[in-house]
């Protein structure tokens, strides 16, 4: 490869040599010393100009750059500009996340805290900078949140007291983030909890206030004998039926209010064999011989929980099966062991429920057909009560139904709720 410095000097030297030789030639040809000297001088001037041209070129190009940067930025400049823009965007996003009202904590695969926003300081009680890098569940030890974090894939945690501000209520979710990191989100729901509490209190108070006047009205209606006033007999019977219905609605609302405020139930043995016998009797009394009723006790195991609430929930399902199955239908009450624990199910060959209603059945006053529910003496609160009772027993309700063919309502109990009839111990 040619050395640029070497070539920069070689050319002018060759040029000078050529001119000097030319000058000497001129002198020899003309015989005049002055002509030779003049030619050498011209040669030197040409050499000087050549050098000046070389030096001026870079100086001129440097002086043509505007002071605020190149008008046509190089690739490097463009890259730098993009990096600066990205850094600014990142900064903005971080500031936005930092100021969100929801607490956000970025956790690595071992639950070490990598980053958290301001709301995480107030709601979860994290402190900057000392809590960066700590293990979150250890930092929040002795809180409901810490035991929740122990779980391998925790379901969202609803309405728990905020570790950093115990008077506030939060909903917490853990989301997968990046390759192995996770994002903990905690939303302050104190306002909603307060409204929910007001609603609960209102319903409980109204129900309580209605109870006494309804009992009085019902009592007087019972005293009146329709045979004494035959022309008013149909009216009187209707008034009795409606006051009874109102009384039942009030009782169900009070039961629901009580269940909603409870966070645990009594831990008593609930012997299943006698309970199943009672449920059969209740079903037969309600059915009045219109259905064929079968009870299959395949589990030989008892439940642990509140006898009163469990009876209420399990009999609600039986009562629904009888009320929503036309005459001649079959009803099967089954108690059986499963891999997860035990199932109590009620299967009927009744009207069935269209699929789009299934997810809403446990809402208060939700009915597939209001007239059918009313005519059969329903309050629209039965399945709501079932759901709450099961929730308090860490059990769940599974509903399967085919319109025109029938339904199966199954209460799935976990192993921790089972008791062996002999040993009286949890299995």
- Bridging pattern class, strands 396-402 and 341-348: unpaired
Name which of residues 348 to 367 contact ligand ADP (CB under 6 A). Answer: 348, 350-351, 353, 361, 366-367
Residue with smaller CB distance to ligand ADP, 202 or 365: 365
Q: With binding defined as CB under 6 A, does residue 380 bind ligand ADP?
A: yes
Q: With binding defined as CB under 6 A, does residue 324 bind ligand ADP?
A: yes
Smallest CA-to-CA distance from 145 within 103, 109, 180 is with 103
Among 379, 388, 397, 417, binds ligand ADP (CB under 6 A): 379
Q: Say if CB 333 and CB 408 are below 8 A apart.
A: no
Min dist CB 235 to ligand ADP, Å, is 25
113 phi, psi to nearest 5 deg: -75, 120
Q: With binding defined as CB under 6 A, does residue 27 bind ligand ADP?
A: no
Among 19, 126, 383, 418, binds ligand ADP (CB under 6 A): 383
Min dist CB 201 to ligand ADP, Å, is 23
Characterize 289-298 residue by residue with b for buried, 16 or more Cβ atoms within 10 angstroms of its Cβ, and e for exposed.
Answer: eebebebeee
Q: Say if CB 317 and CB 346 are below 8 A apart.
A: yes
d(CA 272, CA 421): 9
d(CA 225, CA 398): 45
Angle in degrees, CA 192, 196, 200, rounded to 5: 170
Smallest CA-to-CA distance from 12 within 48, 37, 59 is with 48
Residue with smaller CB distance to ligand ADP, 337 or 400: 400
Min dist CB 335 to ligand ADP, Å, is 18
Q: Return the range that interacts with ligand ADP (CB under 6 A); candidates 89-97, 152-160, 255-263, 317-325.
A: 317-325
Q: With binding defined as CB under 6 A, does residue 36 bind ligand ADP?
A: no
Min dist CB 298 to ligand ADP, Å, is 21
Q: With binding defined as CB under 6 A, does residue 382 bind ligand ADP?
A: yes
The footprint of ligand ADP on this chain (CB under 6 A) covers a number of residues equal to 21
Min dist CB 281 to ligand ADP, Å, is 19
d(CA 208, CA 104): 43
Min dist CB 248 to ligand ADP, Å, is 9
Q: With binding defined as CB under 6 A, does residue 247 bind ligand ADP?
A: no
Three-state secondary structure call for residue 315: helix
Min dist CB 134 to ligand ADP, Å, is 47
Q: With binding defined as CB under 6 A, does residue 378 bind ligand ADP?
A: yes
- Bridging pattern class, strands 157-162 and 165-177: antiparallel
Other CB atoms within 10 Å distance of the CB of residue 108: 15
Tokens of 297: 């006790």
Among 174, 321, 395, 419, binds ligand ADP (CB under 6 A): 321
Among 215, 359, 369, 402, binds ligand ADP (CB under 6 A): 369
Residue with smaller CB distance to ligand ADP, 77 or 296: 296
Min dist CB 348 to ligand ADP, Å, is 5
Write down the residue that tokens 């905020």 correspond to.
162
Residue with smaller CB distance to ligand ADP, 315 or 373: 373
d(CA 34, CA 30): 10
Q: With binding defined as CB under 6 A, does residue 402 bind ligand ADP?
A: no
3-state secondary structure 7-48: HHHHHHHHHHHHHHHHHHHHHHHHCCHHHHHHHHHHHHHHHH
d(CA 383, CA 367): 10
Min dist CB 320 to ligand ADP, Å, is 3
Q: Which residues bind ligand ADP (CB under 6 A)?
A: 320-321, 324, 348, 350-351, 353, 361, 366-369, 373, 378-384, 407
């Amino acid at each position: 490869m040619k050395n640029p410095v070497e070539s920069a000097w070689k050319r002018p030297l060759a040029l000078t040599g050529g001119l000097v030789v030319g000058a000497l030639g001129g002198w020899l040809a003309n015989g005049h010393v002055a002509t030779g000297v003049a030619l050498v001088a011209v040669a030197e001037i040409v050499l000087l100009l050549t050098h000046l041209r070389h030096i001026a070129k870079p100086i001129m190009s440097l002086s043509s750059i505007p002071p605020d940067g190149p008008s046509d930025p190089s690739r490097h400049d463009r890259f730098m500009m993009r990096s600066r823009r990205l850094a600014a965007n990142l900064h903005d996003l971080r500031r936005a996340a930092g100021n969100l009202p929801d607490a956000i904590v970025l956790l690595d695969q071992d639950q070490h805290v990598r980053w958290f926003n301001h709301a995480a300081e107030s709601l979860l009680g994290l402190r900057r900078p000392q809590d960066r890098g700590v293990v979150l569940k250890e930092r929040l030890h002795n809180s409901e949140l810490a035991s929740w974090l122990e779980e391998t894939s925790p379901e969202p945690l609803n309405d728990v007291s905020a570790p950093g501000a115990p008077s506030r209520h939060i909903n917490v979710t853990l989301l997968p983030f990046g390759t192995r990191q996770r994002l903990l989100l905690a939303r302050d729901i104190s306002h909603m909890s307060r409204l929910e509490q007001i609603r609960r209190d209102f319903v409980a108070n109204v129900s309580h206030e209605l109870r006494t006047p309804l009992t009085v009205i019902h009592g007087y209606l019972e005293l009146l004998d329709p045979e004494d006033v035959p022309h008013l007999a149909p009216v009187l019977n209707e008034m009795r039926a409606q006051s009874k219905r109102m009384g039942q609605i009030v009782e169900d609302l009070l039961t629901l209010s009580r269940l909603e405020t409870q966070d645990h139930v009594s831990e008593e043995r609930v012997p299943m064999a006698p309970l199943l016998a009672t449920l059969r009797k209740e079903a037969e009394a309600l059915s009045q011989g219109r259905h064929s009723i079968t009870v299959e006790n395949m589990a030989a195991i008892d439940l642990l929980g509140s006898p009163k609430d469990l009876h209420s929930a399990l009999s609600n399902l039986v009562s629904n099966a009888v009320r929503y199955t036309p005459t001649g239908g079959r009803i099967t009450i089954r108690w059986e062991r499963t891999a997860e624990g035990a199932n109590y199910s009620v299967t009927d060959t009744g009207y069935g429920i269209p699929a789009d209603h299934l997810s809403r059945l446990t809402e208060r006053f939700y009915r597939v057909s209001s007239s059918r529910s009313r005519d059969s003496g329903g309050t629209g609160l039965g399945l709501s009560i079932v759901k709450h009772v099961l929730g308090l027993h860490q059990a769940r309700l599974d509903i399967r139904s085919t319109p025109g063919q029938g339904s199966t309502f199954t209460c799935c109990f976990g192993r921790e709720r089972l008791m062996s009839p002999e040993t009286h111990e949890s299995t």
